[in-house]
Amino acid sequence: MNQIKTARFRENAHDALVDKQLQAVLGKFSDGFPVKRAQAIARMPEFDALRDAARDIKNHALENLGAYLEEFEAKVVASGGKVHWCRDAEEARQTVLSICRDADAKTVTKSKSMIGEEVGINDFLEDNGVEPIETDLGEYIIQLRKEPPSHIIAPAIHLSKQQVADTFRDNHRNRVSDRPLESPRVMLDEAREELRGKFLGADVGLTGANMLIAETGSIVLVTNEGNAELTCGLPRVHVAMASIEKIVPTLEDASTVLRVLARSATGQDMSVYTSFVTGPRRSEDLDGPEEFHVVLLDNGRTELLASELREILRCIRCGSCINHCPVYEAIGGHAYGWIYPGPMGAVLTPGLLGMEVANHHPNASTLCGRCETVCPMRIPLPSLLRKWRERQFTAGVTPVTSRYGLKVWAALARNPRWYRGLTTITSALLAKVAGKTGRLRRLPLAGGWTGSRDMPAPQSQTFMAQWRRRTAARKPGSRPGRS
C-alpha cells in the first residue's frame, strides 16, 4: 500500500493540480489548522519560550541518546515489559510478526503510527495471515480505500465527505445499502459501531508512541479519539513501535513538549487523551494487557544523527509545517509520493529513502521559510533543504541542464567584465524583441517560465551601463568608485 512514488513527483503534482475535487478540499485548507493554531498561540504568551525549551530538551536528548535509550530499556524491563531493538524495517516487521505469532493473533488493532507506515507493517501482517485493523478514523477510512495517508495528523484530509460515504457504503456490507450517509456525524457513529467489535476481539494491539520517557520507561500516546487506549487496553498483548529519536529524558521534559505539540498540530491546548503507558498490567490490575513490548527502530536515524541533518530528528510529528506550506497547499500530500509530505517530509524522506529516490523533495520548495516560522521545535527546515541540495550537487544528482546553466551563470558572476558585456547585449536584444508591449510571450531556454507567464522585458539598457554613462557625464574623465 505504501509504495514509493517519490520519483514521479512532477507527475504526481500535475495530477494533484488538475484534480478538481482535491483542489476544492485544499482550497479550504488555510482556513482550518493555521487559524486554530494562531488562536491557541494567542492564548499562550509563553509559547516562544516553550519552543526554545522544547528544542533544548530534544538537543540534549539526542546528544545523550545512548545513555537515555539504555535507561529507558532498563525501566521498561523493570516494569515487566520487553524491548526489541531493530536496525531496519525488515527486522521490525519480523519482530512484530513474531510477537503476533507467539500470541496466536488473528487480528491486530492499530492506533496511528507513522513508524508503522514507514516499515509497511500492515501489508506485511496481511501477507502473513494476520489482519491489521486501523482504528483512528482517518486511518480507517484510507485503509478501506487502500490509499496512503496524505497528512501525518489528518490522514484522510484529502477526501470529501461524499468520498467517505461511498467508502463506507462499499465496505460496511451488513447494513441497508441506501441508508442516509449525509452527515459526518452519522458516518462517525457508523464507524464507531463497526470498530467497537474489532477493538473487543483483537488479540494484539499495535500502537506507535509520540514520546519515550527514559526516566520511567513509559511511552506516551496522544489522541483525540481514545482509540489508542482501547487498542492497547483490551487485547492480551500490547506492542508499541517507535524510532529511537522519540526519547525525552523526564516526565517534566515530556510535559514541555506536550505544551507545544497539540497547539501546533490542531490548535488544542491539550489533546483529549494523553496516556503514559508503562509495562503490562500489574498483578493487582483488573484490566490491561499481559504483555508489553517496545519495538525500537533505527531505520536510518543513527545516520541522520551523525550528519549535518541531525536537527530533523527533533521533529515531533505535529504537522504544523505541512499546514503552513504553500507548496503542500497547492499539491496535497500524495504528490510527495510517500508517507511524509510537506517540509518535514522533504527533509526526512531523502534521509530514509536516499536522495536519488527522493531527488525532488529538497528541490520542490521556494525556501519561503514559513515552516521554520511555525515549527515548535525550531527546526531550520529551509537550511536543511539547502543541505540536501548541496549533497545532491556534490554527488552530481542535480539534473545536467541545471548544473550547466548554473555553471555558466556563476562563471559570469565571478567575472564582472564578461558579465557587463553579456548583460548589456542580452538586455538590448530582449528589449528590442519585446518592442512596445514590454513583454515577451516566448523565450528560448525559458519554457518553464513562458509556458504560463509572459516575461517582462528588460528596459533596453542595464542599470550599470546607464550608471556608468551618468557618472562619467557628471565627472568627465573620472571613473565611478568610492567617494
Partner 1 sequence: MSNARRDILAAVAAATEKDPNAAARVADRLSVHAANVIPQRGAEGEQVVSRFIEEAERAGTDIRQVSALADIPGVVSAYLREQNLAGDVRISSDPISLNIPWADEALIAVSHGAAEPDDTASLSVALCGIAETGTVMMKSSAENPVLLNYLPFLHVGLLPQSRIVGSLEMAWSALRRASGEGVMPRMVNLITGPSRTADIEQELLMGAHGPQKHMVIILKEE
Partner 2 sequence: METSSTKPDAPNVALFVTCLVDVMRPSTGFAAVTLLEAAGCRVTVPDAQTCCGQPAYNAGDRKDARAIARLTIEAFDGFDYIVAPSGSCAGMIKMHYPEMFADDPEMKKKAEAVASRTWELTSFLVDVMEYTPTDVRFDRHVSYHDSCSGLRELGVKAQPRTLLANIDGVELTEGDSAEVCCGFGGLFCVKYPEISTAMVDKKIDDILATGANTVVAGDLGCLMNIAGRARRRGAPLDVWHVAEVAAGIADETGPIGGDAED
For the bound state, the minimum distance from the C-beta of residue 398 to partner 2, rounded and expressed in Å, comes to: 7
Nearest to 208 by CA among 218, 217, 221: 221
Out of 106, 407, 432, 469, which residue is the one contacting partner 2 (CB under 8 A)?
407
Partner that binds at residue 2, options partner 2, partner 1, none, CB closer than 5 to 8 Å by kind: none
Q: What angle do CA 387, 301, 247 make, to 5 degrees?
A: 120
Whose Cβ is closer to partner 2: residue 162's or residue 466's? 466
| Distance of alpha carbon 43 from the chain centroid | 26
Distances in Å between the alpha carbon of 177 and those of 118, 193, 198, 349, 468?
35, 16, 22, 41, 80
DSSP 115-182: HHHHHTHHHHHHHTT-EEEE-SHHHHHHHHHT---SSSS-TTTT--HHHHHHHHHHH-TTS-TT----
| 456 binding partner 2? (CB under 8 A) | yes
Residue 461 in the binding site for partner 2 (CB under 8 A): yes
The residue type at 157: I
Grid cell of 321 as nine digits? 509545517
x/- track of binding to partner 2 for residues 2-41 (CB under 8 A): --------x--xx--x------------x-----------
Assigned C-alpha cell, 14: 500535475
Check residue 64 for interaction with partner 2 (CB under 8 A).
Answer: no
Number of residues that bind partner 2 (CB under 8 A): 72
Q: Judged by CB under 8 A, which stretch of 148-156, 247-255, 275-283, 413-421 contacts partner 2? A: 413-421
Segment interacting with partner 2, rule: CB under 8 A, options 71-79, 235-243, 345-353, 452-460: 452-460
156 binds, among partner 2, partner 1, none (CB under 5 to 8 A by kind): partner 1
Burial class (CB in 10 A: 0-12, 13-18, 19+), 275: middle
CB 29 within 8 A of CB 324: no
Beta-strand (E) ranges in 8-161?
A: 82-86, 107-110, 131-134
**Residue 66 CB burial class (10 angstroms; 0-12, 13-18, ≥19):** exposed
**Closer Cβ to partner 2, 107 or 460, answer by number:** 460
- Which grid coordinates are listed for 239? 506492542
| Contact region with partner 2 (CB under 8 A), list: 109-117, 297-305, 341-349, 458-466 | 458-466
Considering the complex, state which of residue 41 and residue 367 has its C-beta at the smaller distance from partner 2. Answer: 367
CB-nearer residue toward partner 1: 276 or 449: 276
Q: Which helix (H) or strand (E) holds 292?
A: strand 291-297
Please report how close the Cβ of residue 295 comes to partner 1 at its closest, in angstroms.
11
Judged by CB under 8 A, the chain residues 317 through 336 that form the site for partner 2 are 326-327, 329-331
Angle 65-78/47-63 helices, nearest 10 degrees? Answer: 90
What is the nearest approach in angstroms of partner 2 to the Cβ of residue 49? 20
Binding residue for partner 2 (CB under 8 A) from 290, 446, 469, 472?
446
Residue 46 Cβ, how far from partner 2 at the closest point, in Å? 22
Q: Which entry of partner 1, partner 2, none binds 46, CB below 5 to 8 A by partner kind? A: partner 1
Spatial distance between the Cα atoms of 355 and 362, rounded to a whole number of angstroms: 9
The rounded distance, in Å, linking the Cα atoms of 361 and 314 is: 19
Could you say whether residue 452 binds partner 2 (CB under 8 A)? yes
Among 170, 269, 402, 421, binds partner 2 (CB under 8 A): 402
Q: Which residues between 360 and 379 bind partner 2 (CB under 8 A)?
A: 363-370, 372-373
Secondary structure letter of residue 174 according to DSSP: T
- Our CB check for partner 1 shows the closer of 215 and 454 to be 215
What is the C-alpha separation between 288 and 302, in angstroms, rounded? 34
What is the smallest separation between the CB atom of 406 and partner 2, expressed in angstroms? 5
By the rule CB under 8 A, 53 interacts with partner 2: no
The Cα–Cα gap between 378 and 384 comes to 12
Q: CB 278 → partner 1: shortest distance, Å? A: 4
Residue 146: left (phi > 0), alpha (psi -120 to 50), or beta? Answer: left
Select from partner 2, partner 1, none the partner in contact with residue 41, using the beta carbon and a kind-dependent cut-off of 5 to 8 Å. none
Which among 300, 139, 163, 313 has a CA at the least distance from the CA of 223?
Answer: 139
Q: Is residue 480 near partner 2 by the rule CB under 8 A?
A: yes
Are 121 and 204 spatial neighbours (Cβ–Cβ below 8 Å)? Answer: no
Site for partner 2 (CB under 8 A): which residue of 106, 466, 469, 472?
466
- Work out how close the CB of 394 gets to partner 2 at its nearest, in angstroms, rounded to a whole number: 7
Residue 185 or 417 with smaller CB distance to partner 2: 417
